[in-house]
Structure 1
C-alpha cells in the first residue's frame, strides 16, 4: 500500500483564495495530561475529493455516494511530458477496460508542492475532460485542479471558468485532486480515497494506492 496523500499542516498550499490551513495545539501532555489540536481549513484542503455539489447547484453531495464509490479501479495516464500550463488533449485519454472506473493523470507536478510553480501545472483540456465523462470515469490528478489554476503566468488563450470540473462533476462523477507519489503505483491499481464524514461539496481524503 502506498500513501498518495499530502500531510495536512499549518500554512500548507491551498487553491488561491481558499481558507488558510491551521493545525494548532489546544492541549498538551505537560499542561493538561493529554494532547489535542484545533483544525481550521476549507473542505478542499490538500488531497481531497470534489463532489458534484462543488460546481453543480443541484449536484450530489458526498453523503449521497455509497462508501464503495471511494474505492476505484484506476488506470494511470503518464502526462509527465507536459510542461507548465499546457493542456492535456483528448487524444491522451485512453479507451479503458470495462472494470476501470477512474483515470489518474500523472503529471509529476507534486514535486512542486508548496511552491509558486505548483500553480502552473498542466491541466485537462475541456475535450479531454468531456471524453472522461463520456466513459463514466472519475478523474484523479496530482495537481491543484484539472482546470488551469489562476496565476500571474496564465495566458489569454486558457479557458475561462471550470470546464473540466463541469464536464466531470456535471456527469455525476468525482474528482480527486492533489495526489502525490504516483511513481510508486503500477499502471493499474486500486485507489482508496475515503473522505471525512462531511455531507457537502468536498472533503480531504487519505488516498492510498494498492
Structure 2
C-alpha cells in the first residue's frame, strides 16, 4: 500500500511566518504556445518538506550533500492526541530509546494539528521539548510531524485560545538537537489517519545546491 502524506504545492498555501509566499502560475499555455509550462516561486521550506542541518546550524550539512538513502525511512507512528494548543510534548510521551533502535529511523509524531491547516490555529501546534528531542537523538531517530515544526511557531499576538507562550523556549532548541546529529526533520505531513504503527516513508528532496531544506513528495508504504 502507498499513501501520499504531502501537501499540494499551490498559490497562497500556508507558510511559516516570514517565509516567502508560494505562487504557481502559468508561463506558456497550450492555447498561446502549443505546450504548457508554469512558474513556481516558493521558499525551501514550503509545504511538506525536509530540513537539512544547514537550516539552523551555520556549518551544518546541506540538502544536496546528504546521501539520498538518508531520506528513505523505517518509520514508527506515535499518536499523541488529544493535545492542546501550544502544548509541550515531553520525553516521557515518547517511546524509550531501547524500543526504537535499531529498527526505526524516523518517529512520526501525530499531534492532530493537520486538521487546522489553512487556519491561524495551525500556528498554535504542540511542540517537542528539548528533552524530547534529546530522547530522539539518543535513539538515533529523526522526527516527522503534522505541524510547522518541532519548535513553537510564533504568533502575531503571542496568545491564542488562552494559551500563554511565556514558558515556551526561545530559538530552535529541538531543531538544533536533532540537526546537530544530522537527524532528519520532516514537517507539515498530512494523511496520517489509519496508518499502521510501522511503515516506510520516502521523502526525497530536490537537489538544491547548498540547500537548507527542500519540499518533498512524502509517501508512506506498508504491507497489508
TM class, shorter-length: over 0.9
| 1:155 lines up with 2:159 in the alignment | no
* 1:138-153 superposed matches below 5 A: 138-151=142-155, 152=157, 153=159
Cα offset, 1:82, TM superposition: 1.1
Q: Is the 8 A contact 2:101 2:139 kept in 1?
A: no
Match of 1:91 in 2: 92
Tell me if structure 1 keeps the 8 A contact 2:20–2:43.
Answer: yes
Matched position secondary structure for 1:132: helix
What is the CA distance between 1:45 and its match in structure 2? 0.4
Partner of 2:79: 78
**Distance in 1, Cα, partners of 2:133 & 2:32:** 52
**Cα distance in 1 between the residues matched to 2:194 and 2:40:** 30
User: Which residue does the alignment assign to 2:193?
Assistant: 183
Please, what TM-score do these two structures have when normalized by structure 2? 0.91
Distance 2:193 2:5 in 1: 10
Tell me how far apart the structure 2 counterparts of residues 190 and 198 of structure 1 sit (CA, whole Å).
24
CA RMSD of aligned residues (A): 1.0
* Distance apart, 1:97 and its partner CA: 4.2
**Structure 1 stretches of at least 4 aligned residues deviating more than 3 Å after TM superposition:** none
1:204 lines up with 2:219 in the alignment: no
Gaps of 5+ in 1: none
Q: Distance in 1 between matches of 2:196 and 2:70?
A: 21
Q: 1:184 Cα deviation (Å)? A: 3.5
- Give the whole-Å Cα distance in 2 for the aligned partners of 1:36 and 1:209: 29
Give the structure 2 partner of residue 132 of structure 1.
Answer: 136
In structure 2, what is the equivalent of residue 28 of structure 1? 29
Decide whether the 8 Å contact of 1:2 with 1:184 is kept in 2: no
Q: 3-state DSSP class of the match of 1:139?
A: strand
Which deviations, in whole Å up to 9, do the C-alpha atoms of 1:16-45 show, x marking residues without a partner?
000000001011111111111000010000
Contact residue 63 and residue 208 of structure 2 kept, 8 A = yes
> Which residue of the partner structure matches residue 192 of structure 1?
202
2:54 & 2:201 partners in 1: Cα distance?
22
**Would you say how many aligned residue pairs link Structure 1 and Structure 2?**
210
1:67 alignment counterpart? 68
Mapped to 2, the partners of 1:187 and 1:198 lie a distance apart of: 32
Whole-angstrom CA distance in 1 between matches of 2:184 and 2:105: 10
Structure 2 counterpart SS, 1:182: coil
* 2: CA distance, partners of 1:34 / 1:185: 39
User: 1:63 deviation in Å?
Assistant: 1.7
2:181 corresponds, among 147, 161, 171, to 171
Residue 115 of structure 1 corresponds to 119
